[in-house]
């Protein structure tokens, strides 16, 4: 039999002292109607891709992101490479700059998304998000 823990010891005491961190929950767009709704909203061109964004207005704080690469990009290997690169860019930038309640779609561009340096893709997404969320008159 183990002795009872004294107050202030163990994992429960450590967890209660730590401040609770609020993190942005990022989901994935999966269905065609979701992509079509995002395509009919705001668009922002970037050097390596096209960003489509829309505010859902459903009251949820979830951020959803989707990725597309058409056959114009190339064969399946090139399309998958483009989507992998876009996923990594989104994983690095969206937690910092995404707005809660928004859907984002990153559309690969032929001959650019696969060949563009990764640091340029990061800068492209950052500037595109700032432009999309800028207050419009």
pLDDT reading at 137 higher than 70: no
Ranges assigned E (strand) in 24-116:
26-28, 42-45, 49-55, 63-68, 102-108
91-125 pLDDT, tens per residue? 999 999 999 999 999 999 999 999 999 999 999 99
Average pLDDT, the chain: 86
Q: Based on the structure, what is the number of domains in the chain?
A: 1
**17, part of any domain:** no
Interior angle at CA 105, CA 104 and CA 107, nearest 5:
150
**4, part of any domain:** no
Domain limits at 69?
23-131
pLDDT reading at 18 higher than 80: no
* pLDDT on residue 20: 36
**30, part of any domain:** yes
What percent of the chain stands above pLDDT 90? 73
Between 42 and 2, residue with greater pLDDT: 42
**12, part of any domain:** no
Residue 23's Cβ-side half-sphere holds a number of Cα atoms within 13 Å equal to: 4
Q: What is the CATH number of the domain that holds 31?
A: 3.30.230.10
**104, part of any domain:** yes
**69, part of any domain:** yes
**66, part of any domain:** yes
Between 94 and 136, residue with greater pLDDT: 94
**57, part of any domain:** yes
**Helical axes 118-133 vs 76-97, angle rounded to 10°:** 50
Report the predicted TM-score, pTM, of the whole model to 2 decimal places: 0.79
Sign of CA dihedral 110, 50, 68, 25: positive
Six-digit token string for 97: 């700059």
Interior angle at CA 116, CA 24 and CA 72, nearest 5:
95
């Amino acid at each position: 039999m183990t002795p009872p823990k004294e107050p202030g010891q163990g994992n429960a005491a450590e967890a209660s002292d730590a401040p609770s961190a609020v993190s942005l929950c990022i989901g994935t767009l999966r269905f065609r109607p979701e992509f079509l709704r995002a395509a009919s909203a705001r668009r922002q061109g970037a050097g390596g891709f096209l960003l489509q964004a829309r505010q859902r207005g459903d009251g949820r704080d979830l951020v959803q992101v989707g990725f597309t690469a058409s056959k114009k990009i190339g064969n399946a290997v090139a399309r998958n490479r483009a989507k992998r690169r876009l996923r990594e860019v989104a994983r690095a930038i969206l937690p910092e700059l995404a707005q809660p309640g928004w859907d984002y779609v990153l559309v690969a561009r032929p001959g650019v998304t696969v060949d563009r340096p990764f640091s340029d893709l990061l800068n492209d997404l950052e500037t595109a998000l700032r432009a999309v969320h800028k207050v419009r008159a």
